[in-house]
């Protein structure tokens, strides 16, 4: 039987300079395809609100939705490390964070939960309960109504410094992994080198320790426009499995993201 990857395996990959591949998935069939190809991490993202449910943001996604889709994904994979998003307002208090993270792990089968923002006290609390945590900085989709629009974050010096400080603080609070979304490539490179935990980029340049994309974006399907930092991996291939394999290979040999996918 294949052994599931652990956070220690991902940390070892960072240490030896092997890029970590990550894609989102929301069901058993795609989970099995990603796992067969060798994708290292499957993120059950609250992006399902947009690509599965047809909403314009991730805000309507519930904990019940996340548990259901996480269970579908976790039951079908044999190797990949599975992370589940804590959705909007599911961690408004420490107690809610603990209860909902436990549901994602116990019922959804995830190995780690992801939360957005500089929530150091929440990370510390969850880690104290034995719950591995992935942080998320840069563009925060759950805060879209506050941000007003999806845009690159950390472009000016004060904002860049704040993101860098928060990244280190999340690591100090006990986060085992960090996602950086839509930040300048130079800033992501600096943070990746600064931290001992793996940094996974999405629209954050090639120098992160790994990359993640929304599966539907890289397969060029869906109801919303594919973001600039993504790429259509269905070009010149004959199947979804071949497209996933092309993405996996491109990340491993640092051919993706290219400059045109970065800021």
Whether the model clears a pTM of 0.85, i.e. scores above it, the answer is yes
Residue 55 domain flag: yes
Q: Is the pLDDT of residue 1 over 70?
A: no
Do 170 and 185 touch, CB atoms closer than 8 A? no
- Pairwise CA distance, residues 239 & 174, whole Å: 40
Name the nearest CA neighbour of 197 among 110, 105, 125, 133. 133
Q: Which residues constitute the domain of residue 228?
A: 7-261
Q: What single DSSP character describes residue 236?
A: T
Residue 37 within a domain: yes
Single out the catalytic residue among 181, 241, 242, 260. Answer: 181
Burial class (CB in 10 A: 0-12, 13-18, 19+), 236: exposed
d(CA 168, CA 187) in angstroms, rounded, equals 13
Based on the residue annotation, tell me whether 181 is a catalytic residue of this protein.
yes
Number of neighbours of residue 55 by Cβ within 10 angstroms: 13
Q: What is the CATH number of the domain that holds 179?
A: 3.20.20.60
In a domain, 119, yes or no: yes
pLDDT band at 152 (very low <50, low <70, confident <90, very high): very high
Q: Looking at the domain assignment, is residue 1 inside a domain? A: no
Three-state secondary-structure class, residue 135: strand
What's the whole-number average pLDDT of the chain? 96
Q: What is the tally of structural domains in the chain?
A: 1
Q: Which residue has the higher pLDDT, 57 or 147?
A: 57
Tell me whether residue 98 is in a domain.
yes
213-258, pLDDT tens digit by residue?
999 999 999 888 889 999 999 999 999 999 999 999 999 999 999 9
- Name the H helices within the chain: 7-16, 28-37, 48-51, 63-76, 94-106, 120-128, 144-147, 157-173, 185-194, 215-218, 240-252
Picking from 205, 198, 185, 187, the residue whose alpha carbon sits closest to that of residue 16 is 198
Other CB atoms within 10 A of residue 22 CB? 25
Residue of 69, 157, 154 lying closest to 118 (CA atoms): 154
């Amino acid at each position: 039987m294949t052994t599931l990857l652990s956070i220690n395996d991902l940390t070892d990959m960072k240490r030896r300079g092997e890029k970590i591949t990550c894609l989102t998935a929301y069901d058993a069939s795609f989970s099995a395809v990603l796992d067969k190809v060798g994708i290292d991490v499957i993120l059950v993202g609250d992006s399902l609100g947009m690509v599965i449910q047809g909403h314009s943001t991730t805000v309507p996604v519930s904990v019940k939705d996340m548990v259901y889709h996480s269970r579908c994904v976790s039951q079908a994979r044999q190797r990949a490390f599975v992370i589940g998003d804590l959705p909007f307002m599911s961690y408004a208090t420490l107690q809610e964070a603990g209860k909902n993270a436990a549901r994602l792990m116990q019922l959804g089968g995830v190995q780690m939960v992801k939360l957005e923002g500089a929530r150091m006290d929440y990370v510390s609390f969850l880690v104290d309960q034995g719950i591995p945590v992935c942080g998320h900085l840069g563009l925060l989709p759950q805060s879209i109504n506050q941000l007003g629009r999806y845009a690159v974050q950390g472009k000016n010096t004060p904002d860049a410094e704040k993101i860098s400080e928060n990244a280190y603080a999340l690591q100090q609070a006990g986060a085992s992994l960090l996602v950086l979304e839509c930040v300048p490539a130079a800033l992501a490179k600096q943070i990746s080198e600064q931290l001992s935990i793996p940094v996974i980029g999405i629209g954050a340049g090639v120098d992160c320790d790994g990359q993640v994309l929304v599966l539907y974006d890289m397969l060029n399907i869906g109801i919303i426009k594919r973001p600039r930092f993504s790429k259509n991996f269905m070009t010149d291939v004959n199947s979804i499995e071949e497209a996933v394999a092309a993405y996996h290979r491109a990340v491993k040999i640092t051919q993706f993201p290219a400059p045109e996918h970065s800021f």
